Amino acid sequence: MHGQRRQWWAAAVAAAVVLGGAGCSAGRGAAGPEALRDGLLTAERLPEGYGLFGGGADGTDVPVVEDPEEDGPEPLASMSCGEIDLESFVTTHAPPLEVAAVGVAPGRKGGRDGDGDADADWYGWETLGRYPSGGAAEVLAELWRTARRCAVSADTSPDGSNRIEQSVTAEPFGTGLLLTVTTRAGSTRESLTDRAAVLRDGDVLLVVQEFGGGQDAAGLPGLVEAAVAAYRDAAGG
């Protein structure tokens, strides 16, 4: 556990240094590559033992941005706490102007789209979202409020046979925050933990999520570092 915390701390420091360096600043406005999909993780950037699935240059599996003139998902301020660990929940409930995403799962290094195993016990998901001026900072602030609102919640299946308990914590992480969502359900009360690192560069949010099942994905902090490095390269930082 202490080793895992050290890895996350190191990833947070690296993210803060990279996004705070030349060409990337959490304090300035518009930022990021000209096309966000150019800033996504690539197979060449992945640490050993990972492959990509979906997303990428062809846009496969990239979440749809809702038309602001039409009724869409609930905003972050009022969304169900049970949705806080769904794929791309940030860009679903706080739609950006532009969005791109890609999945990461166990697979051979250097694998192209489809080489990752999406059916593994855990997998990762990277999302980039570009917001109007000041929008990314507002979304980040709302995430802090949402984490506090959803600190402890519970739900029961319609037939009353299964109680699901969820806890959410948030802590500072680089230029943003790290969300940890722990869920307990069923008669065994098995604990499942998911995490989301949300980083801000001007009006862009970079989100790396892990869906770890019963155990943490030990390499996820390295994926955060790789995602930040890929983003900065594409942004010319």
Give the strand pairing for 204-211 and 163-173. unpaired
The CATH number covering residue 49 comes to 3.40.1000
- Structural contact between residues 222 and 104, judged by C-beta atoms closer than 8 angstroms: no
- Structural domains of the chain, count: 1
Average pLDDT value over all residues in the chain: 76
Average pLDDT rounded to a whole number, residues 52-65: 51
pTM: 0.79
Q: Give 11-51 pLDDT, tens digit per residue.
A: 655 655 555 543 444 444 455 788 899 999 988 888 777 88
What's the distance, CA 36 to chain centroid?
15
Question: Of 114, 182, 113, 101, which Cα lies nearest the Cα of 147?
Answer: 182
Per-residue confidence (pLDDT) for residue 39, from 0 to 100: 92
Q: Give 171-210 pLDDT, tens digit per residue.
A: 998 889 999 998 887 666 678 888 889 999 999 999 998 8
Sign of CA pseudo-dihedral 134, 136, 141, 142: positive
Sign of CA pseudo-dihedral 55, 229, 5, 7: positive
Structural domain of 97: 2-235
Structure tokens at 142: 């709302």
Give the strand pairing for 190-201 and 176-185. antiparallel
Band (236; pLDDT cuts 50, 70, 90): confident
Q: How many CB atoms lie within 10 A of CB 167?
A: 17
Per-residue confidence (pLDDT) for residue 116, from 0 to 100: 45
